[in-house]
A and B are shown apart, each in its own frame.
Chain A
């Protein structure tokens, strides 16, 4: 017991202490720290400054969330919440409908979907344990007639929401239900929800997913940093049509840090995956602590894609925007009308 803490402390004392402390203490220490340079600190301070401001309505609202057997329909609800439908199956990723995340971080823009319009969701996919991706209040707003899919390590954090199914997947593990194959794939992020649990969850509690149904394959990135081999490995195992990838709060000019990517990192992941299209997400919805301009990431992505000749492969959706993709002559998903 004690030796493991000593080993952790001896290996990297600052990382060990920070990962072991409870979040309220970490935030307090960040706030006490001069310079206001920490990512979490800037995100929390940015939210506190806007505490009294109303949440702006979404620029668009999805009025018909469930369509009649589209080849692939994709709607961006905001942050990492993407509602997509492959033929008759409806999926939602990391549902977030609340104004506050983790009690203190406030969203800029409301969700582009009223969850009460959803008559059913076949698969609710949770990418990881953090408050902005695993929101208890938001999960309570969803219909419960489908399965809740979570990464390894989250079972001990999952209340009894009442979903018809609950499936915890470890990396590369798959499960099939009604013709849909869901595979958890490794991504590069970090774990921990309440502070010290990060120290023992370590490599657990976060994942990406690959969804295969009816000849269409979708990659859900959740939240990830760039890794030079990881996404190539995923790309070698699956022929991915659409990759839903985070584009913030990572660097606007480089591949990004260990746990987040910005536009260049997201483009690199898309290319490593060999994905035909990218749906950018995880941006604009709140202050991410890296840039005070909420559209900086998507502006930079569009600029970068233009320079690289990839513009027609980026499906940039506004919050609340829905896009239906079609099948081409080869039976693959195409964004061309």
Chain B
């Protein structure tokens, strides 16, 4: 898992470097503070349930809904249009869950997410489908993901499910570029 994260990080940085423009310094400087805003998430399973925060980023995204004059590949800074017009992306995230017993769990996840535009090319509504691996409490579990995004691709509601034993993760995500 750690090796996979490292490879994805490296891949993302390579793509980001190849997409450097004269305005990229400003873009990154303005973009970065907003990535610190956490998503709200909850984990529900037996015996571990909790509420938490999540920070996620996209090392790599391929859009199939944008015009053909630009590269379909994005890394880290992703214009909402590129995502909601139809895309597939790798999402990496870290979470901290706090249980009602007061103990905190740190976890990490990797997803492959697909975004399908539904209304106004996805600017008003998209369907999100994907699959993700969570590493929680020293155990890796695979979750199926389904959800929607709205408000120009900024607000996402995603639900994630794993079986045997059943576990649910729901998240309210803010993807600001």
Contact = CB atoms under 8 A, between A and B. Distances in A.
A194 B67 contact: no
Contact of A196 (B31, B69, B123, B124): B31
A266 B85 CA distance: 37
Contacts of B29: 1-5, 8
Interface in A158-189: 158-161, 166, 168
Contacts of A195: 154, 176
Contact of A200 (B27, B119, B120): B27
Contacts of B174: 22
Contacts, number: 91
B70 interface: yes
B121 interface: yes
Interface in B17-67: 23, 25-34, 65-67
A200 B25 CA distance: 9
A196 B177 contact: yes
B136 interface: no
A155 B155 CA distance: 23
Interface of A: 1-5, 8, 20, 22-24, 98, 103, 136-137, 140, 155-161, 166, 168, 193-197, 199-200
25 contacts: A2-B32, A3-B29, A4-B26, A5-B30, A8-B30, A20-B30, A20-B34, A22-B176, A24-B151, A137-B121, A155-B69, A156-B70, A158-B81, A159-B65, A159-B66, A159-B67, A160-B66, A166-B69, A194-B80, A194-B152, A194-B177, A197-B79, A199-B30, A200-B26, A200-B30
Interface of B: 23, 25-34, 65-70, 79-82, 85, 119-121, 123-124, 151-155, 174, 176-177
